[in-house]
Amino acid sequence: MDNLTHTLAGWALGQTGLKHKTRKGLAALILGANMPDIDVFFGWVPWAPLATHRGFTHGLVGGVLLMPPILAGLLWLLDRWQVRRGTSFISGLEMRFGWLLALSYLGALTHPLLDWQNAYAIQLLSPFNNRWYHTDGLFIIDLWILLTLGGAIALSIYRENRERDTWRRPPIVALSVVALYILANAGISVAAKRALTSNPPYPQADVVVASPPPVLFWQRDLVWREAGKISRGTYDPTRSLTRLQGITASVEDGMDHPLARRALTATPEVIRFMRWSILPMARIQIEGCQARVDYNDARFSDGLARNRFWISAVIPTEDPGCGATGP
């Protein structure tokens, strides 16, 4: 999910009263809720799990178990430094490290739970298992979650500013509504995938992604791979609970082409892309003795994101007429 959603999730938890458990409690919740995205700065590192966004820092080990104590420790050190400088804390709260650690863990836990819900996927078990997990229940920026959490936080703060008392009911209700909304959307995605396989020609897809479009959360855009071919369809439960609509003709994914297979290790960028891609596709252009291989992921090769996720590699064709060539 986008970082505004992660921030609002941590903030809403704080407005339920948790932010009063310790000094810097709200900071622990909000920073913890965003902390796993620190991996966007680690694309250059040689260790594959950390170099992959939504990998190690989004998993149960890195993001949920190991990182919260680091955050709590940094916030505690900041607090100690402020105390030594004679800083006056408006909240009047005491520093309770146990609560600070607990809130860091709680904030961090919300991050993989939310990212798990969309088609971008996360590696929950990294670094022990590189499998990508996704429920496909939410678009990466969900307007309805933003409005629900943002509105509840605004109401709570308004009451707090007027009466010096946190109004806990709106954020509690909002978080409950969001949880039910997420469960319902996960159920819609399950129904969409069942509709794909329960109707002729009964495809035996090895990968299926059923993600919602922006705003229209009840619909699903399906893309699947079967026998090296990519197909698409749409699911709208208001039209049919058991059938897909708008199924397109299958297209070859291009990944079995010898040049596409050889270019998989041509550059570090391609290697990183393939660690992330769930439904890779390849497009090959041969010019003389060289071939340009463009890779994309079928999840994002159509619609608004169709021009965003391309990565390319140029390799020799190894055509005998070109003379000696090397990698």
pLDDT at 307: 60
Q: What pLDDT, on the 0 to 100 scale, is given for residue 309?
A: 74
Whether 247 and 259 map to the same domain: the answer is: no
Burial class (CB in 10 A: 0-12, 13-18, 19+), 8: buried
| pLDDT beyond 90 at 43 | no
Q: Which domain holds residue 263?
A: 255-322
pLDDT 10s digits, 7-39: 999 999 999 999 999 999 999 999 999 999 998
Task: For residues 259 and 279, state if they share a domain.
Answer: yes
- Are 232 and 314 within one domain? no
Q: Is the pLDDT of residue 82 over 60?
A: yes
What is the tally of structural domains in the chain?
3
- 44 & 67 share domain: yes
Query: Is residue 196 assigned to a domain?
Result: no
**Per-residue confidence band for 317, with pLDDT thresholds at 50, 70 and 90:** confident
- Tell me: do 270 and 314 sit in the same domain: yes
Do 263 and 240 lie in one domain? The reply is no
Confirm whether 174 is domain-assigned: no
Task: Give residue-wise pLDDT tens across range 241-275.
Answer: 999 998 888 999 999 999 999 999 988 888 888 88
Do residues 118 and 217 both lie within one domain? no
What does the pLDDT read at residue 325? 44
Contact predicate 160/169, CB 8 Å: no
Q: Which of residues 106, 134, 162 is at a domain's end?
A: 134
Identify whether residues 71 and 105 lie together within a single domain: yes
What's the chain's average pLDDT?
Answer: 89
Q: Does a structural domain hold residue 308?
A: yes
pLDDT of residue 88: 84
Least trusted range by pLDDT, from 4-13, 181-190, 313-322: 313-322
Q: Does residue 266 share a domain with residue 245?
A: no
* 14 and 119 fall within a common domain: yes
Query: Within this chain, do residues 235 and 297 fall inside the same structural domain, yes or no?
Result: no
Indicate if 216 and 317 belong to the same structural domain: no
Would you call the peptide bond into 201 cis, given omega within 30 degrees of 0 as the criterion? Answer: yes
pLDDT band at 326; cut points 50, 70, 90: very low
User: Does the residue 14 lie in any domain?
Assistant: yes
- Looking at the domain assignment, is residue 218 inside a domain? yes
What tens digit of pLDDT does each residue of 207-244 get? 999 999 999 999 999 999 999 999 999 999 999 999 99
pTM above 0.95, yes or no: no
Q: What is the 3-state secondary structure (H, E, C) of 100-162?
A: HHHHHHHHHHHHHHHHCCCCCCECCCCCCCCCCECCCCCCCCCHHHHHHHHHHHHHHHHHHHH
318 found inside a domain: yes
